[in-house]
Every structure is written in structure tokens, then in C-alpha cells.
Structure 1
Amino acid sequence: MGTDLFCEIVAGERQAHLVRSDEVAVAFLDTRPVFKGHVLVVPRLHVETLADLGDVGPFFSRVQAVARAVEEGLEAGGTFVAVNNRISQSVPHLHVHVVPRHRKDGLRGFFWPRTRYDSAEEAAAYAARIAAALPGDG
């Protein structure tokens, strides 16, 4: 097991406002929320990034359940669900942000600036580079 802040919460060595805890994941309130009710969902197993997780299904079923619970429990209009891998990852332990959203909640500047591809050919080249890096079907 790692020794980061989230590992300490998972191990019960550090206090957190738990939302859910089971054999796969631990969900707790972010201490610096974007909006009240902002939950972090972390795998019980210490991994740094999404690519390190292995089978993502069980973990993301917990994320999905938390997103539903945030909407229902807080009467939120929706949620913003996000993962940072290394860049902007304040704790080197995979964590998914589930942030309650309401229309006109004032969330501005949270999203990165957008850009455009110079041409359809450039977009196709980016898509091809990413596709080539994916594992094959068999």
C-alpha cells in the first residue's frame, strides 16, 4: 500500500467524511470542494493513474453510484465527473471528482480553453495516432 493522504484515509488512519467504503473503493467529501457535496472516489488499492488500475469496471460502478447519489441526495441538476492523471493531480493516488452541478451555479474557468484543428486532415492524423496506440482486438 502507498503512503499518501488517500491511502491514510483508506486505512482509517486519517479522518474523512465518508460517503461510502467497500472492498473496491472509498468515497469521501473533498476538503476543498468546488461546491458543497463534492466527493472524491478513490480505489482502495493504491494506484497513481487510471492506466494503473487494471479492471476499471468495479471501480467505475462505484463512481456511477456516487454520481447518482450526489444528484439524488443533494437534488442536484447533474454532476461534473473528472479524473486528472499526473498533471493537476494533487495527490498521487487515482481519484475521481464527483461535483454536484446546478444550472447557473457560477462554475466558470474550470474548463480549459478550447482549440480547433487546422483541417480535417489534421484531425484525422491525431485520431490515427491515438488509435495506433490502442491495444488490438485480439
Structure 2
Amino acid sequence: MTAPERPDDCLFCRIVAGDVPAEIVLAGETTVAFRDLNPQAPTHVLVIPRSHYENAADLASHDSSGLADMFTTAAQVAEREGLTGGYRTVFNTGAGAGQTVFHAHLHVLGGRPLGWPPG
């Protein structure tokens, strides 16, 4: 499958390309993980696919293995960050759910008790 074209105005595509600096936690063949600039927990890392997909649903329908890679990367990040007490993974899909950058990204949150329900 051919990866979709990267939009010039996508912040996360620009991070993948190295045009915008980010504190990279883990970079692999299909994913990049970096620290969120507005952390909501002591550990807040974003995991993104290197290919541009607008959101998790778009990624799942076009590249389900890429979606699985994101969760594998999230587990590796949690291990490296010492999140032995647990961690949360969150996709915000669409503006109504709080998605502000329209490139699929998985939040990895931990380092403090995370209550339920979230929000």
C-alpha cells in the first residue's frame, strides 16, 4: 500500500521530517514517539505513525498494522518511562473529541493515578 501524501501544513508530519524540533522518546521504522508540549500527566508522550492519516479511524481503515505498531510503541515507551503502575492510551478522533492536530496520534499518559472517568 502506498502511504498517503504528507500535507505541508501538518505539524506532526513536519516533526517526522525533522523540520520541527521535538523531544523524541523513541523512533522506529513506522512510528515516532515524542513528549507532549502541554502534558496532562507527569509522563505524556505522543505516538504517531510516520505516514499521514487524519485520525485513528482513518489509520485503522487504511493501515491496520500501523495502528498495531502504535500500540507496540506505546508499550515500549511505557517500559522505558518506568510506568510500572500502569498507563493510559488515548486517541481523540475528531474535533468534537478534542483532536487539535489532524494526524493520528496516541497519547501515552502515566506517572500519577489516573481516575475514571477521564476528562
Relative to the length of structure 2, the TM-score reads 0.77
Take 1:80 and 1:109, find their aligned partners in 2: how far apart are those partners? 11
Residue in structure 1 matching 2:118, options 97, 111, 115? 111
Aligned residue in 2 for 1:98: 108
Structure with more relative contact order (C-alpha pairs < 8 Å, separation 6 or more): 2
The one-letter code sitting in structure 1 at the alignment partner of 2:86 is: G
- Given that 1:49 and 1:93 are in contact with CA atoms closer than 8 Å, whether structure 2 keeps it comes out as yes
Take 2:115 and 2:75, find their aligned partners in 1: how far apart are those partners? 24
Take 2:25 and 2:52, find their aligned partners in 1: how far apart are those partners? 19
Q: Name the SS for the 2:12 alignment partner.
A: helix
Residue in structure 2 matching 1:85, options 93, 97, 100? 93
Aligned residue in 2 for 1:66: 77
- Given that 2:42 and 2:112 are in contact with CA atoms closer than 8 Å, whether structure 1 keeps it comes out as no
- Given that 1:76 and 1:102 are in contact with CA atoms closer than 8 Å, whether structure 2 keeps it comes out as no
Take 1:34 and 1:22, find their aligned partners in 2: how far apart are those partners? 24
Take 1:25 and 1:93, find their aligned partners in 2: how far apart are those partners? 12
Take 1:60 and 1:109, find their aligned partners in 2: how far apart are those partners? 21
Take 1:63 and 1:35, find their aligned partners in 2: how far apart are those partners? 15
The offset of 1:80, in angstroms, is 1.7
Take 1:16 and 1:110, find their aligned partners in 2: how far apart are those partners? 30
Take 1:65 and 1:108, find their aligned partners in 2: how far apart are those partners? 23
Show structure 2 runs of 5+ residues with no match: 1-5
The one-letter code sitting in structure 1 at the alignment partner of 2:36 is: D
How many residue pairs align between the two structures? 106
